[in-house]
Structure 1
Amino acid sequence: MDIKQQLQDALKVAVTETQNIETIPDIKIEIPKDKNNGDFSTNLAMVLTKLARKNPRVIAEELVDNLDKEALSIESVDIAGPGFINFKMSSASLTNIIDRVLEEKENYGRTVRDDKESILIEFVSANPTGALHIGHARNAAVGETLANILDFAGYDVSREYYINDAGNQINNLACSIDARFFQALGEDMSLPEDGYHGKDIKEIGVELAERHPEYKDLDDETRIKKFRELGVEYEMRNLKQDLADFGVHFDNWFSEMSLYEKNEVEAALEAIKANGFTYEEDGALWLRTTDFKDDKDRVLIKSDGSYTYLMPDIAYHYDKLERGFDTLINLFGADHHGYINRLKGAIGALGQDPERLEIEIMQMVRLIEDGKEVKMSKRTGNAVTLRELMELIGVDAARFFLAMRSADTPFDFDLSLAKSESSENPVYYVQYAHARICSILRQAKEQGFEIDTTKGYDVIEHPQALELLKKIGSFPEIVKNAAKNRANQRITNYVQELASEFHKFYNQEKVLGENEDKTYAYLAMIEATRQTIENALRLVGVSAPEKM
């Protein structure tokens, strides 16, 4: 158990025994910005003022008197200002974290839950009509990082990609391939008005003309159906390869077509009707999403009898619910903000709690190089693709940069910074800290030093060493909060702060010094630092190099 958790638990007991209140509020333990205020601080006494109907300093004194300071390894407690409680911990309480990290290794920071909440996270889900672009790349990086964090925090996580293989876009794809196919055979055929002009579509058409010229003799309906299947297969093969190379993997690739094959569109529609949330007007069937905070009701079946785009989306979420997931998380693009209330309304119309569905809207990414916005690929003249981004700066830099901002904020991606080998580049800064530790450990081994946890850590007294240990000790709580708040950026922020604390320590203290006891203690401490950096980077999908 980390120090913050121990203090929270002890304060909770103290509140129960000293204050006559029914419900104990959340107890927040912070690390003060001013180190003179101790190692940890809480505003609990002020939070309790209205509930306990007492002066906050009186409450603070009662709480402090009830704490077993020796058992908690508290060196001293100070009540400051209107009622802040500041704790200064003994060195032993901080050095205890070293053995925990070295024992748990790659599992340090992981939470094990007996009652796992099951979460289905759906992300990327780009139409299989062309290469993934920079916006999809951000969705992929954030989605995979969030899934990793949730898994590490003890949730039962499934990753899913929804393949839109049944809509008008796929008809346009098939017709575009058809045009390119006949063009490759030397016939004059123009692309459809809403067709796809990408290089990949031309390549498919040429390949089909070379391998299967006999397809020209098929009737139009049969040929277009064939090209639909082949086009989706081709595009999905490329998408899967790009995502795999980006370190993004899915547990399930869900086909929209399967909803029709399993009659789930009809099943979802019947469920909504049975719950009384539909009505007919102007020859169309409407869903009363205004009952669930939507700004207007939505059409499910148009007057010509065809489904709107919303109906298969509802059927897809009906399928998710039928599979028994506790929570559904969707990562949508910036142009999907209007989907939030209508999809939540659909969940309610299906008889489920709309809050089981969480929708994260991914804001736009601007690529910046040398201070100027990069809108088009230098190679193709089209939008910069995920593949090109990986080739430009590598997977590590792309994953870290795209995951280091809150998904709901626009992001300027500085390519020049991502390419640089300097302390200004956050991923380089963190990886360099890891590589530097590995270098020190190699030097230590050459000098005959191995990590030995039996030597003890009493000699660790330097203030910067203790700051480093506090930062290491906060990792499990950071993971929990990042998972709870769906905030992937908390991990990237944390690992930069951890690297900073290590660099500060290394610049002030020698690890391989003349004091042998201190050398052994410091070697164990920096190995705990290295392991924590590696664990944090793994959540983001970034490597922890031993040499740079």
Structure 2
Amino acid sequence: MERGSDPAVLPDEVTVERPRNPEHGDYATNVAMQVAKKAGMNPRELATLLAAALTAADGIDTAEVAGPGFLNIRLAAAAQGAIIAKILAAGERYGTADTLAGTNINLEFVSANPTGPVHLGGTRWAAVGDALGRILIAQGAAVTREYYFNDHGAQIDRFANSLVAAATGAPTPDDGYAGAYIGEIADTIVAANPGAAELPEAQRRELFRREGVELMFAQIRASLHEFGTDFDVYFNESSLFESGEVERAVATLKSSGKLYEKDGAWWIASTEYGDDKDRVVIKSDGNSAYIAGDIAYFHNKRARGFDLCIYMLGADHHGYIGRLKAAAAAFGDDPATVEVLIGQMVNLVKDGVAVKMSKRAGTIVTLDDLVDAIGVDAARYSLMRSSANSSIDIDLDLWTKQESVNPIYYVQYAHARTCRIIENSAAFDFASVTPDFAAMTADREGELIRTLGEFPRIVATAGETREPHRVVRYLEELAGVYHPFQSDNDMRVLPQGDEPLTPRHAARLELVKATRQVLRNGLSLLGVSAPERM
């Protein structure tokens, strides 16, 4: 075998990227530098061999060696038509894959306590979580979107006490919940149950607790639905205790030696998995600590057949990473079965000043407040435009502008422009002309085609990294390539005046159709509309 010809020296994956400088070609790779030593050659020598082989391949115009052994590759113009044809043939399926086929994922997000409206942090997860679910499904996974309904514990007692206080005209308890929504719910309960405020204390508290939670959660579900986020499962925390699952899960861990006893309490060794301290599961008084419910909940998910449990939690929940992974290990599962994503804070800004007060919630800004201010599409898009693990400021003035400085307007307008061209093309006999993709040799044409070809890789990476913002930024890049293409008089898709209809016009129309499809697919993954007119 000739030196350098053994395919075993090749890595499992070859990285091919688009150069920042288009003069360096359409794609570039450093594979020769990666494997030269194994092949017994210097990088430039191996790169020269690879360049010769690539240049002889169908669809490759040139392959040139640069620097210490980089390969710069330029596609043949006619080969670019294959990218367009692939997009149009796949349609809504373009960008999907079967990478995660057979993987059953439980994706839990939002899970806000039913003690008030969804605040901005939860709203961010509603956007990011829903988009992540769509992206994972696009990669072949079976995804169950789940909302963990926290209807058990002290916070529910405080909520009930706040409702009773509002109904009876008493001051809000020091540890209670304020805001107009508390009075609204209390009034609704009283209207449906005349005399509720005069019931014996225990009976009154139970009535306001039960009906208050139902009413609050109905509002939460309605707000999320209007926001475009729905769940497959609403799981009640209380069911874990009422069914005895918490007791059984704890007993299992005790009997297997996965909990240890100290100071009269039972502990789980969560420090072994990154927690800052071991956690009490059963307190010295025999009552369950909050983590006991989390442990039983994870066990319940695994019993339902989920291969991967993704938890999307707020900024103050870093400690949950270690304790949930410890719970997985305690039940004999790989800690990698658990993934915890932490989201950071969201701030609203208007006229250069932070917006801090809600109309109904008093001290917080809610999902409904944001939607009222900028609309559903802009709200979703703005919340997932940056990595969820970084804090963001949302400028309400920016996101309501019908101008290109508004990112969502910029992307949606690109889609609307493609629709307008396709609609106007009906006035011409394009059916009589065969597209000539080899004629599309202009830089703007090639850049747009190559950008479209990147979409499947972007979606795959967004799924692997759990980062929907990668799709957002890609769409802005695509719009940034398409707008100059359409505005360039030399890139006309439709003939003007007495200009004849040519095969190049037909090829460009196919390119516009492919652009529309990719914009539409990307926006769909984000749960954002693709308007045909703006």
TM over 0.5: yes
Q: TM-score, normalised by structure 2?
A: 0.94
Does the CA-based 8 Å contact 1:99-1:453 persist in structure 2? no
Structure 1: tracts of 5 or more residues without a match: 1-13, 184-188
Mapped partners of 1:130, 1:469: distance in 2: 48
Aligned to 1:397, the other structure's residue is in SS state helix
Aligned to 1:47, the other structure's residue is in SS state helix
Given the alignment, which residue of 61, 66, 69 partners 2:56? 69
Does the CA-based 8 Å contact 1:176-1:201 persist in structure 2? yes
Does the CA-based 8 Å contact 2:179-2:361 persist in structure 1? no
**Offset at residue 112 of structure 1 (A):** 3.5
Given the alignment, which residue of 273, 284, 293 partners 1:303? 284
Which residue is equivalent to 1:3?
none
Which residue is equivalent to 1:366?
347
**Offset at residue 213 of structure 1 (A):** 2.6
The 5 Å alignment of 1:13-24 reads 18-19=5-6, 21=8, 24=11
Q: Does 1:500 align with 2:487?
A: no
Mapped partners of 2:513, 2:467: distance in 1: 27
Aligned to 2:471, the other structure's residue is in SS state helix
Which residue is equivalent to 1:143?
129
Which residue is equivalent to 1:91?
77
Which residue is equivalent to 2:468?
488
Q: TM-score, normalised by structure 1?
A: 0.91
1:267-326 Cα shifts (integer Å, max 9, x gaps): 221222233121222221111223333332111111121111111011111111111111
Mapped partners of 2:231, 2:55: distance in 1: 48
Shift in CA distance, 288/114, structure 1 to aligned 2, threshold 3 Å:
closer
**Offset at residue 405 of structure 1 (A):** 0.5
Q: Does 1:479 align with 2:475?
A: no
Given the alignment, which residue of 117, 133, 154 partners 2:119? 133
Does the CA-based 8 Å contact 1:21-1:52 persist in structure 2? no
Aligned to 1:334, the other structure's residue is in SS state coil
The 5 Å alignment of 1:255-270 reads 255-270=236-251
Given the alignment, which residue of 432, 455, 460 partners 2:413? 432
Does the CA-based 8 Å contact 2:163-2:185 persist in structure 1? yes
Which residue is equivalent to 1:5?
none
For 2:22, give the aligned amino acid.
K
The 5 Å alignment of 1:85-484 reads 85-112=71-98, 115-183=101-169, 189-216=170-197, 218-377=199-358, 381-445=362-426, 447-450=427-430, 454-484=434-464
Shift in CA distance, 305/23, structure 1 to aligned 2, threshold 3 Å:
farther
Shift in CA distance, 23/117, structure 1 to aligned 2, threshold 3 Å:
farther
**Offset at residue 155 of structure 1 (A):** 1.3
Q: Does 1:79 align with 2:57?
A: no
Shift in CA distance, 453/261, structure 1 to aligned 2, threshold 3 Å:
farther
Mapped partners of 1:341, 1:15: distance in 2: 52
For 2:459, give the aligned amino acid.
V
Given the alignment, which residue of 504, 518, 527 partners 1:518? 504
1:369-426 Cα shifts (integer Å, max 9, x gaps): 2222222236765322111111111111111111110111111112111111221111
**Offset at residue 51 of structure 1 (A):** 4.0
Mapped partners of 2:162, 2:23: distance in 1: 68
Which residue is equivalent to 2:20?
33
1:484-537 Cα shifts (integer Å, max 9, x gaps): 111111100111111111112112211112443222221111011011101001
For 2:91, give the aligned amino acid.
K
Mapped partners of 2:135, 2:218: distance in 1: 27
1:105-126 Cα shifts (integer Å, max 9, x gaps): 1111111358421111100000
For 1:317, give the aligned amino acid.
F
Q: What's the % identity of the aligned pairs?
A: 42
Mapped partners of 1:440, 1:347: distance in 2: 54
Aligned to 2:62, the other structure's residue is in SS state strand
Shift in CA distance, 164/61, structure 1 to aligned 2, threshold 3 Å:
same
Does the CA-based 8 Å contact 2:110-2:312 persist in structure 1? yes
Mapped partners of 1:22, 1:106: distance in 2: 38
Mapped partners of 2:198, 2:304: distance in 1: 44
For 1:510, give the aligned amino acid.
R
For 2:95, give the aligned amino acid.
G
Mapped partners of 2:79, 2:335: distance in 1: 44
1:222-248 Cα shifts (integer Å, max 9, x gaps): 332222221111011000000000000
Mapped partners of 2:507, 2:432: distance in 1: 8
For 1:232, give the aligned amino acid.
V
Does the CA-based 8 Å contact 1:449-1:520 persist in structure 2? no
Shift in CA distance, 368/94, structure 1 to aligned 2, threshold 3 Å:
same
Shift in CA distance, 285/380, structure 1 to aligned 2, threshold 3 Å:
closer
For 2:506, give the aligned amino acid.
Y
Mapped partners of 1:170, 1:355: distance in 2: 32
Residue-pair matches, total: 528
Does the CA-based 8 Å contact 2:325-2:335 persist in structure 1? yes
Mapped partners of 2:432, 2:477: distance in 1: 27
Does the CA-based 8 Å contact 2:55-2:63 persist in structure 1? no
CA RMSD of aligned residues (A): 2.2
Mapped partners of 1:66, 1:195: distance in 2: 73
Structure 2: tracts of 5 or more residues without a match: none
1:52-94 Cα shifts (integer Å, max 9, x gaps): 45321122234344547333x1111101100001111101221
Which residue is equivalent to 1:10?
none
**Offset at residue 33 of structure 1 (A):** 0.9
Mapped partners of 1:341, 1:449: distance in 2: 64
Aligned to 1:331, the other structure's residue is in SS state strand
